[in-house]
């Protein structure tokens, strides 16, 4: 038995993995990783895999980055953790100052959580509680887009709309208002992204006009709906939404957990619409992919609604044990240093162009309906019928075939259903992008070459898909 098999056996004896049907591992080998360096992950037998998905969209400057490593090492000798209620520390103060300085003007307060889902919960609770504090208790519902994803906790699932993650738990979820996504994959032939996004806003406008008295906030993933299949839309939708939220006195929450920190081509996606949300949720790349940390930024107007004598019970009594952890904050500070010192946003423009050119040939593939891109996120929509954009039945698991082929070639490509996507660390080279495009092309050929016969149950839901 090889080293990989030994570790795999020990793992399967005790672990329950996320987003996984564990029975799959009766035939699909689990890959134990010994070390990482740059864009590469290496298993216990020395095989390397190019991390094309940034280890679930978190890693932006490579594994074992020496600058982030050193900052954490320096911090661990000083302070590993301290309660953030009644106490503070240098890394969290410096990080908060820098986040306020680099985000849109007016986001002046930072509240920390441990992860993306928890950060969303903070924003939802804070918005709801704000309206209670200012004497408008009827404003307690949330508006979200179809095909959206905001996390796995109960409230975060409530404002999501990917059935694979929410269907089972319907009885537990909050009552929310859902409006059609501006997803430009669904636009009529010949229509531009901007025109389609403008047209799709009409339903949001109508929803706010009819229900604003009961609405606390609208929450969106700006520009890219990640877990919904890397579906994308035009920034004009965000601009129209900001204007409408102002008119109807409704908060706007931007979930930039996946798209913040350069992924869309600007540091934050909201910059492309020239707007400022009332709540900006950040996580994932915040620490360069090293440690769990999330930040919810909001305005001084929101902050002041909670600022009062203790006896009024208006305080925001929300907490996490590891809120503002010094080691995570140190990693985040090192990450921000790299952005600043290496002119990353500008450098990414060349890499984004290489991603586009390396995959352009797939536009002619008989089973590719669309190649779409926003900055350093590129998605290839693989379909059964190109002309009608007819998806493969999810039971056929075509994306899994791409994943399996990529592993044989030394790449970690984990499609979302039949959507093959690249979300690589920003330290990837043009040649490595070419390699990923080659592997993806081969995988798509293999996945679409053969006919697959599967039983489709009566309760078949076309929006179910393999999680990414």
Binding residue numbers for substrate:
56, 149, 284, 319, 414
Beta bridge partners of 298: 109, 279
Query: Which residues are annotated as part of the binding site for pyridoxal 5'-phosphate?
Result: 116-117, 255, 320-321
* Number of alpha carbons in the 13 Å side-chain half-sphere of residue 396: 17
Residue 397 Ramachandran class (φ > 0 left, ψ -120 to 50 alpha, else beta): left
For residue 94 the two structure tokens come to: 């410096």
For residue 23, count CB atoms less than 10 angstroms from its CB and return exposed for 0-12, middle for 13-18, buried for 19 or more: exposed
Query: Which residues are annotated as part of the binding site?
Result: 56, 116-117, 149, 255, 284, 319-321, 414
> Taking a C-beta distance cutoff of 8 angstroms, is the pair 389, 372 a contact?
no
For residue 439 the two structure tokens come to: 């592997």
Beta bridge partners of 232: 224
> Taking a C-beta distance cutoff of 8 angstroms, is the pair 144, 218 a contact?
yes
For residue 413 the two structure tokens come to: 């490509």
Q: Three-state DSSP class for 422?
A: strand
> Taking a C-beta distance cutoff of 8 angstroms, is the pair 41, 33 a contact?
yes
Angle, CA 117 vertex, CA 167 and CA 56 arms, to 5°: 90
Strands 177-179 and 141-145: parallel
From first CA to last CA, the distance across the chain in angstroms is 30
Residue indicated by tokens 């059964």: 384
- Chain-centroid distance, C-alpha 30: 24
């Amino acid at each position: 038995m090889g080293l990989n098999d030994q570790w795999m056996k020990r793992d399967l004896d005790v672990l329950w993995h996320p987003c996984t049907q564990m029975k799959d591992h009766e035939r699909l080998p689990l890959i134990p990783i010994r070390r990482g360096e740059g864009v590469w992950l290496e298993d216990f037998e020395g095989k390397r895999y190019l991390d094309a998905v940034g280890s679930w969209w978190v890693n932006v400057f490579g594994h074992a980055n020496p600058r982030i490593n050193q900052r954490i090492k320096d911090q661990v000798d000083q302070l590993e953790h301290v309660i953030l209620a009644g106490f503070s520390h240098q890394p969290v103060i410096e990080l908060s100052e820098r986040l306020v300085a680099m985000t849109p003007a007016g986001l002046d307060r930072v509240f920390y959580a441990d992860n993306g889902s928890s950060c969303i919960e903070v924003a939802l609770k804070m918005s709801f509680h704000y309206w209670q504090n200012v004497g408008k208790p009827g404003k307690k519902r949330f508006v979200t887009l179809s095909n959206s994803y905001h996390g796995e906790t109960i409230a975060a699932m409530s404002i999501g709309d990917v059935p694979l993650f929410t269907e089972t738990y319907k009885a537990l979820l909050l009552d929310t208002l859902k409006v059609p996504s501006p997803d430009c994959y669904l636009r009529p032939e010949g229509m531009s992204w901007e025109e389609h996004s403008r047209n799709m806003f009409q339903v949001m406008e109508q929803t706010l006009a009819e229900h604003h008295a009961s609405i606390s906030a609208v929450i969106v993933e700006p520009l890219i709906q990640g877990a919904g299949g890397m579906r994308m839309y035009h920034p004009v939708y965000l601009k129209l939404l900001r204007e409408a939220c102002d008119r109807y006195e409704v908060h706007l929450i931007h979930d930039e957990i996946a798209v913040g920190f350069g992924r869309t081509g600007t540091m934050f996606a909201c910059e492309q619409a020239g707007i400022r949300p009332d709540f900006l949720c950040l996580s994932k790349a915040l620490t360069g992919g090293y440690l769990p940390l999330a930040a919810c930024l909001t305005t001084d107007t929101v902050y002041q609604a909670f600022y009062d004598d203790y006896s009024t019970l208006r305080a925001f009594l929300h907490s996490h044990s590891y809120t503002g952890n010094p080691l995570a904050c140190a990693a985040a500070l090192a990450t921000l240093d790299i952005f600043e010192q290496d002119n990353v946003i500008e450098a990414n423009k060349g890499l984004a162009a290489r991603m586009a050119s390396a995959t352009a040939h797939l536009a002619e593939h008989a089973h590719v309906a669309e190649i779409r891109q926003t900055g350093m996120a590129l998605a290839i929509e693989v379909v059964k019928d190109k002309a009608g954009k007819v998806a493969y039945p999810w039971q056929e698991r075509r994306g899994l075939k791409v994943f399996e082929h990529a592993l044989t070639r030394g790449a970690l490509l984990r499609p979302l259903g039949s959507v093959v996507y690249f979300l690589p660390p920003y330290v990837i080279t043009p040649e490595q992008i070419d390699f990923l495009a080659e592997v993806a092309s081969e995988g798509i050929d293999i996945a679409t070459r053969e006919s697959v016969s599967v039983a489709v149950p009566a309760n078949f839901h076309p929006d179910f898909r393999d999680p990414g």
